[in-house]
Amino acid sequence: MIRNKPAILILIFLFGQLSSSAFGQDEQNLSDTIRKYAVKIFLDCRDCDMNYTRQEIPFINYVRDVREAQVFILVTQQNAASGGSQFTYTFHGQGEFKGMDDTLSYTSSPDQTSTIIREKRTRLLKMGLMRYVARTPLINEIEIQHNEDLESEEVIDRWNYWVFELSTEPDFQSEETNKELDLRNSINISKVTPGIKMEFELDHFYNREKFIENANTDSSSTNTYVTSAASMDNLVVKSLGEHWSAGMIWRLGTSTRENYGFRTEILPSVEYDIYPYSEATHRQLRILYSAGYQHNNYIDTTVYNKTKENLGLQMLNVAFQVQKKWGSINLLLTGSNYFHDFSKNRVELNSSVNIRIFKGLSLRINGGVAHINDQLNLKKGDISEAERLLRLRELATRYRIEGGIEITYTFGSIYSNVVNPRFNSSNFHYD
């Protein structure tokens, strides 16, 4: 096994000495030619940070169809005896690379942070790809060094960067005195390029519960409770350099629990990142301001005696994230208020901190706190016991607090990399 220093990464390096006369084209044409012959891979990985992977490995083409790939890479994970995880990368050559298969593994130690594991896994992936890259024209452009000026490029395909995802999740449970039907459906459409980002998400939820009293008797009775919700979130963002971006947020929805027959928000927005967006996989400090219009059409009269209303509102989000070898910090501060009454406002703070205190000892803290004074949608009238217990109706509250803490200490051998899945219940998942 080759062990490189962490600062030494295998990346593509375009030689400036390549003359245009030798190839009969200028630098841009040369770059396009090299990109054309780059290895096409399909990475089947559930927990990979794809933004980080693409940034650190820009000298290949990522495709979304297995049939278009020259190399199919399957990533699997199992628990190791030391308390870490063993990640196995299985490379299957396709097309001209058929028969060129390989398997590489990396076993993390229990005291390594997610950032360290991500770096080592990406380095392993790079090493596994070299045997394929070596059989393409890009072999002449590879050096054992990192070129910070090189930016990853996306291969242009017939979908023009559009990605579609459909999902449905029906769930049914039945007992003698209780029957429940739960439906969840979603459609996600997105297009992300360095210059523009567009996301459209449609979500639908439906829940029906039946409670049967005195079952199997002549006096049996059935009570049925239904909750449903549907929402559509639309986002269009235009990049304005390494620090600025501007866009539009448009939301539509309906919810029986929240008393919305129809609700829509149109929010022009602008964002500034203290750090360059190119460093987003390592650190972010983003400030997002939105101001716009909200229309609410309520199912029942609200506590403010409204059946519908038009409102102006503003929101400010401050998001901070940093990922280092010692751990990671995530903070999100959100504030909003309505223009017609500044006392109708909401302030929320959510956080997650992961710290490696010293070898073997790690600490994870997550929590959130919110001041809530903007529930203009609350339904007027008394609350029934069923509405309270089954959460069929949103209840008034002035605050929300949540949190948790986890301390982990692992000791013993760090060299026990053996994987033995026998009688391992963690390999089975029950939802």
Annotate 245-293 with three-state secondary structure.
EEEEEEEEEEECCCCEEEEEEEEEEEEEECCCHHHCCCEEEEEEEEEEE
From the list 308, 328, 330, the residue with the least C-alpha distance to 318 is 330
Task: Over range 160-169, report the average pLDDT.
Answer: 88
Residues 121, 128: Cα–Cα separation, whole Å: 11
Tokens 């639309």 belong to which residue?
A: 234
pLDDT at 412 (0 to 100): 65
Q: Would you give the DSSP letter of residue 374?
A: -
Residues 42, 61: Cα–Cα separation, whole Å: 9
Task: Over range 273-287, report the average pLDDT.
Answer: 87
State which amino acid sits at residue 286: R
pLDDT at 226 (0 to 100): 92
| Residue 4, pLDDT above cutoff 70 | no
Return the top range by mean pLDDT from 183-192, 212-221, 321-330, 388-397. 183-192
* Confidence class for position 35, pLDDT limits 50, 70, 90: low
* Confidence class for position 360, pLDDT limits 50, 70, 90: low
* Tokens standing for residue 122: 């990406």
* Confidence class for position 305, pLDDT limits 50, 70, 90: very high
Q: Which helix (H) or strand (E) holds 114?
A: helix 114-133
**Which residues does 206 contact at the CB level (< 8 Å), separation at least 6?**
181, 182, 183, 226, 227, 228
* Confidence class for position 56, pLDDT limits 50, 70, 90: confident
DSSP string, 174-212: E-SSEEEEEEEEEEEEEEE-SSEEEEEEEEEEEEEEEEE
Expressed in angstroms, the distance from the first to the final Cα of the chain is 40
User: Which segments of 65-177 are extended strands (E)?
Assistant: 71-79, 85-93, 102-107, 142-143, 162-174
Cut 0.85: pTM above it? no
Residues 61, 53: Cα–Cα separation, whole Å: 12
Q: What number of CA atoms fall less than 13 Å from residue 51's CA on the CB side? A: 9
Residues 325, 17: Cα–Cα separation, whole Å: 37
| Residue 418, pLDDT above cutoff 90 | no
Q: 209 - beta bridge partners? A: 180, 225
Task: Over range 62-67, report the average pLDDT.
Answer: 81
From the list 259, 251, 255, 253, the residue with the least C-alpha distance to 304 is 259
* Confidence class for position 23, pLDDT limits 50, 70, 90: very low
- For 98-157, write each residue's pLDDT tens digit: 999 998 989 888 778 888 999 999 999 999 999 998 888 877 777 756 555 555 555 556
Domain borders along the chain are 11-143, 275-419
Q: How far is CA 120 from the centre of its chain?
A: 21
Residues 251, 95: Cα–Cα separation, whole Å: 45
Long-range contacts of 153-159 (CB under 8 A, 24+ apart): 153/31, 153/35, 153/58, 154/62, 154/193, 155/35, 155/38, 155/40, 155/61, 155/62, 155/63, 157/63, 157/64, 159/64
* Confidence class for position 15, pLDDT limits 50, 70, 90: very low
Q: What is the mean pLDDT of the chain?
A: 83
pLDDT at 356 (0 to 100): 75
Residues 55, 194: Cα–Cα separation, whole Å: 12
The answer to whether 39 touches 61, Cβ cutoff 8 Å, is yes
Task: Over range 410-422, report the average pLDDT.
Answer: 56
Task: Over range 265-278, report the average pLDDT.
Answer: 94
Residues 124, 5: Cα–Cα separation, whole Å: 13
| CATH-assigned architecture of domain 11-143 | 3-Layer(aba) Sandwich (3.40)
